Structure 1
Amino acid sequence: MSPASTIPPTTKDADARRSPGRTLTLAAVLLAVFVVPTSISGTAVALPDIGGSTHAGLAPLQWVVNAFNVAFACFTLVWGSVADAVGRVRAFTAGVVLYAAGSLASAVATDVLLLDAARALTGIGGAAIFSCGAAILSTVFDGPARARAFALFGTIAGIGVAVGPSLAGALIQGLGWRWVFAAHAAALALVLLALPALSRTVPPQAGGGRLDVPGSALFVLAMVLVTTAIVQGSQWGWGSAGVLGLLAGAVAALAVFAAVERRSAHPMLDLSVLREHRFLGLCLVPVAASFGFVTLLTYLPSYLTAVTGRDTGTAGLLMLLLTAPVLVCPMLAARLVGRGVRPLTLLFLSLACLVLGDVALTMLSPSVGVLVLAAPMLVTGAGMGLSAGLVDGQALALVDPAKAGMAAGFLNTLRLGSEAVAVAVYGSALATVLGRRVGDGIGGYPGATDAAGVADRAAGGDLAGAAALSGATDRTGFADFLARAYDSAFHLLLWGLAAVGLVLAAVIAVLLHAERRPAS
């Protein structure tokens, strides 16, 4: 009897069914994965057009980006528990359906608040696509095939971030901002057609996991409260009862969350992973990237269109200077580590690039040329790219392998949560600084009134709409004034981003050094 004949018929049949569907499964997961970062980086290019079309103020316009980011961050850990309870394919399917429905709703939304709600729905679906898509690949593939599948997973995600602004700019210029979201829905419709193949290819899952409902609800509540407080800070006042109440509520929700997780038999987050100082230090590297890179990914397109006068398509194309290093540098970092360069050296180099890139971007001006723009954007993008693939492996190597999945979930939650907070902080600070600039100068333009409303509209990148709202008799002159005010505020915030990067780099260095001292 040959060795092959000793394999049970059911096993051979299952393998025969799975093998032809593996390529289709990989293609479906990678297409869904491509859509998510494309949306994250591309939506920012559409903000000025969305603001002009919906006449939205800065706060609701910020939530077009923040609603997605907050929902994505909040539900990254939650979907892991859901997948354990209902199965990975079902959870992935639910994520694809939610993302497609949210994208379609975004494309047809006539009110910015409805658009915000739709973007939150896509964020929830995006978290499932990333979490459950990776789990599906780890189940379907093994050995060298698994390594290739995950290499493609990371590469496709990087390509999505890199080309998102350019694709969005082309769609907006040719068809309008709604087609950015319609294209996402169309792409995910193709993924839905491949789901039957996933069901046949992915082996059945035993299930039986429990969803940490109290912990999940408290974590989501805390994230929503803190982000709302930051977004509304410039509108209500940073010392207002509303903002302070939201922040107090967030602190209380996190305190209760910690207490619940300590007592839970199936916690969403095992707090013991936070006792490793070096792990915490490495987890702060993506936080630095959120402030130094992601904020610019969100707001630099508005600067390029509002202040430098470039059209949306050109602004999206120029954003490749910022995003292209995110595609190239992770592979470069891996090769350098393979040749003996210390990973921590590259991580601190990435932090230095973020700080230096933000400082160098202060050379931006209304008449800035592409050559002047290229160097600081490439350096800032390298700061993001050098750490993007490296920090995860270094951080998880410090954690008990039995808790690696949970630690990865915490790292990604901190990464995505800090992106939401950084974008909210930047937008609110931009509105505050711009409001002061407009308030100080609006009196010099006859007929101009409503400084607060004008600053709010201008902070969203819609300078023409802000000039019309002001009632100034000389709209052209007033629009030029708004461009100068926006330019000044943008430069001040760049220095702020560099300062945040320096502080985080110092904290990271202290945390990484703290664990080495006892051993010396």
Structure 2
Amino acid sequence: MMDSFEVTTENDERLTMGGIHRTNRTFMLFAVLMAVFVVPSSISGTAIALPFISVELQSDPASLQWVVNAFNLTFACFTLIWGKFADVFGRKRSFIAGALIYTLASIGSGLAPNILWLDIFRALAGIGGAAIFSCGSALFTQTFEGEQRTRVFALFGVTAGLGITFGPTVSGILLELWSWQAIFAMHAVVLTAVLVMSSNIPSDADEVGSVSQVDFPGAALFIAGMFLLMLAVSRGYEWGWLSLKTALAVLLGGVMFILFIVRVKRAVHPVLNLGLLRNHGFLGLILVPVVASFTFVTLLTYFPTYLTGMMQQSAATAGLMMLFLTLPVLVLPLIAGNLVSRGVRTTRLIFFSIVCMLLGIGLLGLLVELSVSLSWLAAALLLIGIGMGISAGLVDGEALSSVNADETGMAAGVLNTFRLGSEAVAVALYGAFISASLTRLVPEHLSQLKGGNDEAWIAGMASGNFTELLEQVNAREQAVLSHEMIAVYKMAFTTTNALLGSIAVIVSLLAMYCLRKGNRLVHCREALRR
């Protein structure tokens, strides 16, 4: 694939900014793509390790959720400001800083002595991951032009798809051969190689922007609001949904978001341009990733626990099973792009992708209720993956094309905020709903079989540790208890799936309405021009 970047010396000088040598560009390309592979593979692969982490670190469900939530939260929030950091401190410096943060966080994650430290290191990894994605794409924009830029961004997307696709499989194999710590060790090794190659990345220009261009107060308000919202969601079932702690977290989070809106309206360099949301076509498009968050992303994070827990599959089998969900994301973006180039309307493909995701999540809930085999579950996962794969290849380009040229940078920030922020909220809601359902069902259905200590059983079932829980009772009772545990977990899973699916339906209807309204406005403008 790299052969496509071989050009003559004359063309190389013409297509290279700042006299950058071809070898340096090749090293930069490899370095950025290696780092880009690690980030999504970490998101999709860490889910496989959650049951094993729970056993070794003796974590409660809420703390275990933050292994995923902490990464998603910081990734979502810091994507807003790393672009500004790249302008202020330089793209190379910012990319290397992000890769270094991620490397140290991965080492810390593997050595974490308890769940609190693991959550902290995962939050740091999210900060580094945001830098890798934001500053990596900025390096590509700075270094490549014309068709070469098109090719490298295609490689960027394909590499991210590879990370999502094979993250669960690679992690499952590492778990089978070694331990969950090996997953984070792999990330550290790959990123260390990235740091070594980064010395060949073209140096930043001496003149950079001003620190005043970074809206630190706005970013801080957004991060505080997101953290408080996710805290209320993830701890609500433990504190009580109507408790004072939950109410205060929601209230303070709401205040932070109100202050954030006030700030971005007044700031000279706001982190978000809320005026873009008045563009119906753009708003409809950026809601599509929100649908994916409540269907595809939540399953990517927690369905491996269902497979290893309720269905008693090995980590390697669960990783292979997840390929049915993730492989379409690797293949279909290119197919969707080809269809559009041949005249198929983008809106129709996006509507089709939404329908696939909704049908898939509904079918999955029905199949789980019927306790069918893995092959049937694979069909539902494949349908959701098809919907995600089609939309992933269309939404970004179409959304950025629907705004003015001088607003594309800010529009990209808004799009990624909706995408990553909704992922963080959806994953937190999934964990909260499953834990709340188990909190209600375990005392009702299992108390007579297992004895006391409901909290330990709720925590164990939420993290998928069925085998360890069964070892606590005598062999004669294990068969009966196992049957009841599976029934309880199935009820909790289907309830959670139905709640998240309902949210996805509501967002889908809003997205389709905005897209239709946006299309009508476009047609009206074209008619007036004629």
TM-score, length of structure 1 as denominator length: 0.93
Structure 2 vs 1, CA of residues 68 and 12 (structure 1 numbering), >3 Å: closer, same or farther? closer
| Contact 1:37-1:164 at 8 Å conserved across structures | yes
1:208 to 182, 207, 210: 210
| Paired position in structure 1 for 2:66 | 63
| Paired position in structure 2 for 1:4 | none
Write the letter of the residue equivalent to 1:207: G
Structure 2 vs 1, CA of residues 472 and 417 (structure 1 numbering), >3 Å: closer, same or farther? farther
Structure 2 vs 1, CA of residues 311 and 367 (structure 1 numbering), >3 Å: closer, same or farther? farther
Structure 2 vs 1, CA of residues 141 and 241 (structure 1 numbering), >3 Å: closer, same or farther? same
| Paired position in structure 2 for 1:72 | 75
Kindly indicate whether residue 78 of structure 2 is the aligned counterpart of residue 49 of structure 1: no
Alignment of 1:122-133 (within 5 A): 122-133=125-136
1:457 to 438, 442, 460: 460
| Paired position in structure 2 for 1:3 | none
| Contact 2:354-2:387 at 8 Å conserved across structures | yes
C-alpha distance in structure 1 between counterparts of 2:453 and 2:347, whole Å: 51
Structure 2 vs 1, CA of residues 323 and 11 (structure 1 numbering), >3 Å: closer, same or farther? closer
Structure 2 vs 1, CA of residues 397 and 13 (structure 1 numbering), >3 Å: closer, same or farther? closer
Alignment of 1:27-106 (within 5 A): 27-106=30-109
Deviates more, 1:346-355 or 1:502-511: 502-511
| Paired position in structure 2 for 1:388 | 392
Write the letter of the residue equivalent to 1:396: L
Write the letter of the residue equivalent to 2:183: V
Structure 2 vs 1, CA of residues 421 and 312 (structure 1 numbering), >3 Å: closer, same or farther? same
Secondary structure at 1:348 match in 2: helix
| Contact 1:64-1:116 at 8 Å conserved across structures | yes
Structure 2 vs 1, CA of residues 469 and 90 (structure 1 numbering), >3 Å: closer, same or farther? farther
Secondary structure at 1:364 match in 2: helix
Secondary structure at 1:170 match in 2: helix
| Paired position in structure 2 for 1:285 | 288
| Contact 1:37-1:160 at 8 Å conserved across structures | yes
Write the letter of the residue equivalent to 2:83: G
| Contact 2:172-2:315 at 8 Å conserved across structures | yes
| Paired position in structure 2 for 1:335 | 338
CA RMSD of superposed structures (Å):
2.3
| Contact 1:454-1:469 at 8 Å conserved across structures | no
Kindly indicate whether residue 323 of structure 2 is the aligned counterpart of residue 356 of structure 1: no
C-alpha distance in structure 1 between counterparts of 2:30 and 2:217, whole Å: 36
Secondary structure at 2:343 match in 1: coil
Write the letter of the residue equivalent to 1:51: S
Deviates more, 1:236-245 or 1:213-222: 236-245
| Contact 2:36-2:160 at 8 Å conserved across structures | yes
Secondary structure at 1:474 match in 2: helix
| Paired position in structure 2 for 1:400 | 404
| Paired position in structure 2 for 1:136 | 139
Write the letter of the residue equivalent to 1:384: M
Structure 2 vs 1, CA of residues 270 and 12 (structure 1 numbering), >3 Å: closer, same or farther? closer
| Contact 2:17-2:142 at 8 Å conserved across structures | no
2:26 to 23, 28, 38: 23
Deviates more, 1:272-281 or 1:161-170: 272-281
| Contact 1:261-1:267 at 8 Å conserved across structures | yes
| Contact 1:308-1:368 at 8 Å conserved across structures | no
| Contact 1:435-1:456 at 8 Å conserved across structures | no
C-alpha distance in structure 2 between counterparts of 1:321 and 1:383, whole Å: 12
| Paired position in structure 2 for 1:148 | 151
| Contact 1:42-1:168 at 8 Å conserved across structures | yes
Write the letter of the residue equivalent to 1:222: G
C-alpha distance in structure 2 between counterparts of 1:192 and 1:46, whole Å: 26
| Contact 1:472-1:478 at 8 Å conserved across structures | no
| Contact 2:45-2:167 at 8 Å conserved across structures | yes
Write the letter of the residue equivalent to 2:491: S
Cα distance, 1:253 vs. partner?
0.4
C-alpha distance in structure 2 between counterparts of 1:89 and 1:236, whole Å: 45
| Contact 1:325-1:382 at 8 Å conserved across structures | yes
C-alpha distance in structure 2 between counterparts of 1:13 and 1:515, whole Å: 39
| Paired position in structure 1 for 2:439 | 435
| Contact 1:448-1:472 at 8 Å conserved across structures | no
Query: What do residues 458-478 of structure 1 show as CA deviations (whole Å, max 9, x unaligned)?
Result: 111112344567999935532
Deviates more, 1:71-80 or 1:487-496: 487-496
C-alpha distance in structure 1 between counterparts of 2:241 and 2:474, whole Å: 28
Query: What do residues 427-458 of structure 1 show as CA deviations (whole Å, max 9, x unaligned)?
Result: 1101111222212112331x511223321321
Structure 2 vs 1, CA of residues 295 and 472 (structure 1 numbering), >3 Å: closer, same or farther? farther
Query: What do residues 460-519 of structure 1 show as CA deviations (whole Å, max 9, x unaligned)?
Result: 111234456799993553243222211222123223333222211211122223345566
Write the letter of the residue equivalent to 1:443: S
| Contact 1:171-1:179 at 8 Å conserved across structures | yes
| Contact 1:88-1:135 at 8 Å conserved across structures | yes
| Paired position in structure 2 for 1:417 | 421
Structure 2 vs 1, CA of residues 393 and 14 (structure 1 numbering), >3 Å: closer, same or farther? closer
C-alpha distance in structure 1 between counterparts of 2:84 and 2:19, whole Å: 30
Cα distance, 1:20 vs. partner?
2.2
2:506 to 496, 500, 503: 503
Structure 2 vs 1, CA of residues 143 and 250 (structure 1 numbering), >3 Å: closer, same or farther? same
Structure 2 vs 1, CA of residues 515 and 334 (structure 1 numbering), >3 Å: closer, same or farther? closer
Alignment of 1:251-266 (within 5 A): 251-266=254-269
Write the letter of the residue equivalent to 2:500: L
Kindly indicate whether residue 176 of structure 2 is the aligned counterpart of residue 173 of structure 1: yes
Secondary structure at 2:444 match in 1: helix
C-alpha distance in structure 2 between counterparts of 1:506 and 1:50, whole Å: 38
Deviates more, 1:35-44 or 1:271-280: 271-280
| Contact 1:99-1:126 at 8 Å conserved across structures | yes
Q: Which runs of 5+ in 2 are unaligned?
A: 1-9, 525-530
Structure 2 vs 1, CA of residues 127 and 469 (structure 1 numbering), >3 Å: closer, same or farther? farther
Write the letter of the residue equivalent to 2:493: F
TM-score, length of structure 2 as denominator length: 0.92
Cα distance, 1:363 vs. partner?
1.0
Secondary structure at 1:341 match in 2: coil
